[in-house]
Amino acid sequence: MARDQQGGGVDEKHSKVAGLDDKTVEALGELSKALETIHRVRGHLYSAHQLVGGADLTLDRVVRLLRESGHEEVADRVEYELLGRNVLPGRWTFQIMEEFDDGYYAAFQEIERDAREKLAGGRRHIFEAEMKERRRTHGMPGHEATP
């Protein structure tokens, strides 16, 4: 890649290995983008896990307040039908997280890593590094190629 006055260009750890074609770089970029989306999904699932857990703990107060205000029947229903209930058959959210982490998430990460190893010598973000090089303004402060 071309160098600018600050000695820029794509650094070696983000540059193409010999024989790596543009379509493969694009495919690896898309695979990386998909994995980034799955990382976000995982974060949302953990948020749901924490929110559901917090809501369930709040039900203790709900039951107590209902009992104190004389609404035993409603309190019983909240306590026995809702408090501690599975969110999916047989599962609390921690079990969903474990299954997601150990199954789909782990497989996605391994397959993405394996593709990079086999096709690009393990290098990451080649597509993005090339895009950065095309889009930055050479010689302009804040547009340096590398730190």
Instruction: From residue 103, give the alpha-carbon distance in Å to each of 28, 69, 78, 86, 107.
Output: 22, 46, 33, 20, 6
Question: Which pLDDT band, with edges at 50, 70 and 90, does 3 fall under?
Answer: very low
The rounded percent of the chain whose pLDDT value lies above 90 is 83
Query: Which tens digits make up the pLDDT trace of 52-89?
Result: 999 999 999 999 999 999 999 999 999 999 999 999 99
If we measure between CA atoms, which residue out of 10, 39, 41 comes closest to residue 25? 10
CB 49 within 8 A of CB 93: yes
pTM given for the model: 0.82
Strand intervals (E) in the chain = none
